[in-house]
Structure 1
Amino acid sequence: MRRFGRTLVTAALAVTVVAGTAGWASGDSQRAVTGPPPGVAAWRADAVSGRALPDPAGATPREVARFFAGLDDAARRELVRSHPLVVGNLDGAPLALRYEANRIAVTATGEARYASLAAPGRQILAFDPRGRGQVAEVFGDLERAGHVSVIVPGSDNDAGNYDAGRKPNTGPAGMARALRAATGAAAAAPDSVAVIAWIGYTTPVGVGLDAADGRLAEAGAARLARFTAGLDAVGAPDPVLFCHSYGSVVCGLAARDTDAADIVAFGSPGMRAGTAAALRTGARVWAARGPSDWIADVPNVEFAGIGHGADPTSPAFGARRVPAADVQGHTGYFMPGTQSLAAFAAIAKGDVR
């Protein structure tokens, strides 16, 4: 009974902290965007040479890849022109077609907040304007890369603020650029490492109850698992998942359903598992936390759906530790010259055994 009482007190503390009474901003409840993107009804009603198109809600990425492999170039281009939002978000579709489809889809929205995503040379792998918007962008040549990393961010990220001004080397795109540069891919070996900034789920806003429970993470985990299956279907290497803050909750829930080679949690409130082994993944699991990261003040509990469990950097969790003694704050893990970025680059290149 005494132990149960301590658990209740700790859980209550967790709720108090995340609700904002400690001075942090509270967030409004978000509705997770799930399922196929707009335009799926017209897609389902269409056909190519009498063949039904693969159902975005039911077809596996490998089935999608096989379907497109059986089409000639003219048929592929027609699907891009007629159904850009579907093709642009269809895991398993050829990468070049998805880039072109998303350029068309972004332009068609006519919204100034998305306009920069359609700029020449950008490789937008996913774009969904529903809700606050979701987006994924590729840095590097994903078709020829020998190694692939995926940045899975936490709260306050969406398509609307993806290109907003931020402190250098922070935010999903800034982290992706910093990681790719640190691997040397941008200069010495341009095709060896590709990095994807993935905002493919509805993230919490602020540090409120949405950030304290797993509802949005569960929806995001399903989308992340399908996204990585889509990478596999087009022949990409098994990815490294770099999971920041609430994004590490997403990665923890998705771990058993991805083919990731490595999963790196940093600035993590927990991964909804008591140990690395409990993630039930064949990936190597890594964890990092800087000395001034405020995430250390979030209680590592999980009670009645609130809190995300054990600290991934604790020895008992069993993850490999990433050095982070020189990291400043909650978003400084990709700053040039830090121990964490050097270690991340080595993991991304597969140089760590």
Structure 2
Amino acid sequence: MDIKTLHDADIIGISTAKTAFDTLATAFGQHIENWQHEVVDRLGHSEWTGTAAGHANTRITDLGTELQAAKQELGLVSRALQDAYDGFAAAQANLVSALDDAKTHKLTVADDGGITWDKDPNSPNFAGNDAENQAKQIQARITAALNEADHADQTINARLAHLATNASNGTGLDSATAKTDTDAANALLQAPAAGTDPNSVKAWWNSLTDDQQHRMILNHPEQIGNLDGIPAAARSEANKTNLKNLIQDRQRQLADLGPEPKQYLGYVKGEPVINPEYEKWKAKRDALQEKLDGFQSIQNRLDGKLDGGMGGPGSNPPLLLLGIGDQGQGRAIVSWGDPDKAKNISSLVPGLNSTMAGVGGGDAKTAKRIYDSAENSARANGDVPPSVASVFWLGYDAPQLDGPSVLTKDRAVEGGEAYNKFLAGLRATHEGAPAHMTAQGHSYGSLVVGQATQHPGGLAADDIVLVGSPGVGVDKASQLGVGADHVYVGTAKNDPVANAPSPGMLGGLGAAIYETFAHPDASWHGTDPASQTFGGQRFSVADGTVTDSHDNYFGKDDKGGDSLANIGKIVSGHGNTITREDPR
């Protein structure tokens, strides 16, 4: 497959052929129905008996079975053509998009895929200082589109050749053959429901052929990408497709909103009267734009448009997209490195004020800093080559400061269930010996982790890290299911979230005095994880200030002290080497 062939391909012909086979299958079905009424039913109501009648009835019954099998096979040709159309259409659209972007960036794409550009800063066609990086990204997209078209071509050839052979040698008239072929086609359409046990999902995925897996990714990216138990590489491929679909859908919805209504209907006593239609329009527009900005920030990260290409095509480690969706405030899960292959896996749950837009920006860098710290710790301890995957998991609606949600555990309960399933999925799909897995919770995210541990079977983690925690919903580290000596706590002296008073402290002077003496280690959501009563392993972090300490546990602006290095030691499986701090 080459650029010109794919670009100029008239794929409408495939759709036309599919329609023709639909018409043929319908007509054939009518013939079978007529056969049933005019021959089978008439013969059944006749009084013909004897040896010849017996042989005739047997043959007529067999013929009816053969006709039904043939009808099934005709239907499978139609389905194969539809899948082929979908595959070629997706590949062609991706190629055209890449070529359009090349033109936008003043890059010239040759027929063989080579890319050149004007390097003269004084030329009106100067492609800019980032041209080489843009060229690499576009070339990768072109190659992927051509590979997709090749795969679709090989797949349709194989499927149609199989069905043609069945038709020519008569095996397509066999009901068992038709059932096998139909079951194989149906497998392309039936993904397990969301929430299915990840081990069952993995068993289903493994039962599919390579072609069936590929078709599921192509035809149902929103299901496959967010299904725990699907291997990470397949999830990422599906989610990257779904992300583009989500961006296009939000762009379309914004365009469909129509022109902005008048903001004011007029004035009464000099005060403007708000137009209710404007308020409705603006609320819809703002919600759509917020989601679009979030999706676009992640796409920009994957395209290498942020931080010098970090996370873009060819980055080392690769950035995988393990989850994306528009439920609630939006869902996004990214991973530096492949968790199916890594020896050590970290999965961080963020807390207060986390948004989808942040995942593509600073949150992705947070996960990368954890990755780097864990790799450094692994090397320092003789683990060569180091093997790490660092996940940032925004799989729930994190509380925002526009309401009281941060004060309750409702979102943590819901998020904890999803997080529990996600880690179980990583366990199910991991290759080779079980990985060393660290569950991390920051701020309200630590409560999510705490709730995740309370599900039957516990949490698929070996170590737990809690930083800036307002409590995790339990009173003892030993209640988190990994052993108190594997629960690590980092709390900055001046962190206003981790040091927030318990609810009882807010109930007036008498209640505050009682709470101080009766529950001196109480936090907002249970016992203070940094306290001696809780029983975790407290590691050293910088004191920070009231304004910056809560955000500095992961090395932001180099203000976290030993915190990031300690987290890297824990993630790499060397928690026994942390710099310790006495519990309070």
Structure-1-length-normalised TM-score: 0.78
The equivalences for 1:105-254 within 5 A come to 105-109=242-246, 110=248, 111=250, 112-113=292-293, 114-118=295-299, 119=303, 120-121=312-313, 122-164=319-361, 166=362, 172-184=363-375, 192-206=387-401, 208-235=403-430, 237-254=435-452
SS at match of 1:162: helix
- Bigger fraction of residues in helix: 2
Counterpart contact for 1:144–1:191, Cα < 8 Å: no
- Is structure 2 residue 260 aligned with structure 1 residue 65? no
2:64 match: none
Quote the Cα distance in structure 1 between the aligned partners of 2:223 and 2:386.
28
Choose the corresponding residue for 1:308, options 525, 535, 540.
525
Counterpart contact for 1:290–1:324, Cα < 8 Å: yes
1:322 match: 539
Counterpart contact for 1:302–1:308, Cα < 8 Å: no
Quote the Cα distance in structure 1 between the aligned partners of 2:350 and 2:414.
14
Q: Kindly tell me: are residues 274 and 66 of structure 1, through their superposed partners in 2, closer, same or farther at Cα, counting changes over 3 Å?
A: same
Deviation at 1:58, TM superposition (A): 5.0
What's the CA shift string for 1:33-63, capped at 9, x where partnerless? xxxxxxxxxxxxx975445734323521011
Quote the Cα distance in structure 2 between the aligned partners of 1:261 and 1:329.
27
- Is structure 2 residue 551 aligned with structure 1 residue 331? yes
What's the CA shift string for 1:65-90, capped at 9, x where partnerless? 11111111111111111111110001
Counterpart contact for 1:265–1:287, Cα < 8 Å: yes
Quote the Cα distance in structure 2 between the aligned partners of 1:323 and 1:191.
24
- Is structure 2 residue 204 aligned with structure 1 residue 56? no
SS at match of 2:245: helix
Counterpart contact for 1:140–1:191, Cα < 8 Å: no
Quote the Cα distance in structure 1 between the aligned partners of 2:197 and 2:504.
33
Counterpart contact for 2:378–2:569, Cα < 8 Å: no
- Is structure 2 residue 576 aligned with structure 1 residue 350? no
Choose the corresponding residue for 2:474, options 273, 290, 294.
273
Q: Kindly tell me: are residues 315 and 205 of structure 1, through their superposed partners in 2, closer, same or farther at Cα, counting changes over 3 Å?
A: same
Quote the Cα distance in structure 2 between the aligned partners of 1:134 and 1:302.
34
What is the identity, as a one-letter code, of the residue corresponding to 1:96? Answer: A
Highest Rg: 1 or 2? 2
Deviation at 1:96, TM superposition (A): 1.4
Quote the Cα distance in structure 2 between the aligned partners of 1:117 and 1:278.
36
What is the identity, as a one-letter code, of the residue corresponding to 1:346? Answer: K
Deviation at 1:161, TM superposition (A): 3.5
Deviation at 1:231, TM superposition (A): 0.2
Choose the corresponding residue for 1:79, options 201, 211, 216.
216
Choose the corresponding residue for 1:340, options 563, 568, 576.
563
Quote the Cα distance in structure 2 between the aligned partners of 1:244 and 1:280.
19
Unpaired segments ≥5 residues, structure 2 = 1-181, 251-291, 304-311, 314-318, 506-522, 577-584
Counterpart contact for 1:239–1:259, Cα < 8 Å: yes
Deviation at 1:286, TM superposition (A): 1.1
Q: Kindly tell me: are residues 47 and 221 of structure 1, through their superposed partners in 2, closer, same or farther at Cα, counting changes over 3 Å?
A: farther
Mean Cα displacement is larger for which, 186-195 or 110-119?
Answer: 186-195
Choose the corresponding residue for 1:100, options 214, 237, 250.
237
Deviation at 1:117, TM superposition (A): 2.7
What's the CA shift string for 1:289-336, capped at 9, x where partnerless? 112211244113579xx9311110001110100111354510101114
What's the CA shift string for 1:201-260, capped at 9, x where partnerless? 111111742101110000000000000000011016242012100001011111242121
Quote the Cα distance in structure 1 between the aligned partners of 2:191 and 2:220.
13
Aligned length, in residue pairs: 300
Quote the Cα distance in structure 2 between the aligned partners of 1:178 and 1:209.
31
Quote the Cα distance in structure 1 between the aligned partners of 2:191 and 2:358.
32
1:34 match: none
Q: Kindly tell me: are residues 208 and 318 of structure 1, through their superposed partners in 2, closer, same or farther at Cα, counting changes over 3 Å?
A: farther
What's the CA shift string for 1:322-353, capped at 9, x where partnerless? 11135451010111472111110100100123
Counterpart contact for 2:297–2:357, Cα < 8 Å: no
Q: Kindly tell me: are residues 307 and 296 of structure 1, through their superposed partners in 2, closer, same or farther at Cα, counting changes over 3 Å?
A: closer
Counterpart contact for 2:195–2:421, Cα < 8 Å: no
Quote the Cα distance in structure 1 between the aligned partners of 2:349 and 2:563.
16
Q: Kindly tell me: are residues 302 and 237 of structure 1, through their superposed partners in 2, closer, same or farther at Cα, counting changes over 3 Å?
A: farther
Quote the Cα distance in structure 2 between the aligned partners of 1:273 and 1:252.
7
What's the CA shift string for 1:111-160, capped at 9, x where partnerless? 44213434353410001112221100010232321100011100222323
Segments of 4+ moved more than 6 angstroms: none
Structure-2-length-normalised TM-score: 0.48
Q: Percent identity?
A: 31
Counterpart contact for 2:497–2:550, Cα < 8 Å: yes
SS at match of 2:244: helix
What's the CA shift string for 1:172-212, capped at 9, x where partnerless? 32321111111236996675111001001111111742101
Quote the Cα distance in structure 2 between the aligned partners of 1:301 and 1:261.
32
Q: Kindly tell me: are residues 316 and 231 of structure 1, through their superposed partners in 2, closer, same or farther at Cα, counting changes over 3 Å?
A: same
Quote the Cα distance in structure 2 between the aligned partners of 1:178 and 1:215.
30
What is the identity, as a one-letter code, of the residue corresponding to 2:342? Answer: A
Quote the Cα distance in structure 1 between the aligned partners of 2:474 and 2:191.
35
SS at match of 2:489: strand
2:18 match: none
Quote the Cα distance in structure 1 between the aligned partners of 2:482 and 2:471.
16
Q: Kindly tell me: are residues 182 and 215 of structure 1, through their superposed partners in 2, closer, same or farther at Cα, counting changes over 3 Å?
A: same
What is the identity, as a one-letter code, of the residue corresponding to 1:217? Answer: A
SS at match of 1:270: coil
What is the identity, as a one-letter code, of the residue corresponding to 2:536? Answer: A
